[in-house]
Structure 1
Amino acid sequence: MLGAFTYLTLYVQGPLGAGPVEAGIRFLAFSTTSVAAAILISRFVHRLPMSVLIAVGPGLIAVALLVMTIPSVDPWIPLMAGLVLSGAGLGAGNVISNQVALTAPADRLGMATGIINALKQVGTAVGVAILALPYGAGVRTMLLVAAALAAAGALLPLGLLRGRRPAVAGRPTG
């Protein structure tokens, strides 16, 4: 999602004609929803299997990116709906990824959280690079590619844990 954000900013300030302040105000929907989702998902972290929780963030982001591609008379409607949904996905994903890191043994906790945070930065940079080519074909194409990548990110943890007893955050897997 954060890779796509670079190109959404260009789209909003280019073809949609928003100035920097208007674009920033509209993107507040993403930020505020991200914070609210982080607070809300934290209540479920210890109740649901980790494999399901890990899929929530990228799953919501995939749906959000698809929503942004819906043709509309007013392009702001699907864009704003998608920003709200993707904010929820990012907020949930951040909490859950941090919870995953906290399941590491105490002597490796710093390393685990450092790896998670470094991978977030690398993922954003790689996302910007990967989405440059489809953005050249149009914002809709870029959003579809980003949605496919997010969907893969949602399905991967579910596939990796197939046939295994799913772990719940804060509980041993054995």
Structure 2
Amino acid sequence: MFYNYQPMDYRKHIRYQNKGFTLLEVMLVVFIISLISASVIGYAKIVDYHRSIILINEANEVAQALAQYYSTHGTYPQDLTAFLSDSSYFRVSLKDPYTDAPLSSLLGTRLIINTSNRTVEVKDLSNTSLAVVSFSVYQWNQIQYNIDGKVYGGADYGQ
């Protein structure tokens, strides 16, 4: 009776069951894609934040150099483009971290130097003010930062 026993063909059932993805597989793929996209967006925000910090630090260097120039010559430079290109007042050549262009090319647009008010203002690519650095001959560190709509610092910041 059991001599003619043939095992059941399971391939028909397996072929029928594997026609799609399970809910678990779909959820796993969606989760992995969302993790990757969140990390890319977070990385872009971090890079933009660090570029704005670099630009603020360069505004500080410009303010220091203007105060040093004034203490040496008794007046502020007439040609600001030549002043920004002068290597004797800056430790390194200043460059825009967004476009890698020389900082002197930003004069009047994203780098605003006002010698009558003694301020240096820098703006990001969307023309939003990042920082206004006030300087004088004796005290250059009156800094007010504006990052992501939040204002940091003020008069005598850093003392």
User: Fold match, TM over 0.5?
Assistant: no
**Structure possessing the higher relative contact order (Cα contacts under 8 Å, 6 or more residues apart):** 1
TM-score in terms of structure 1 length: 0.25
More helix by share: 1
**Relative to total residues, which structure has the larger strand share, 1 or 2?**
2
Higher gyration radius (CA): 2
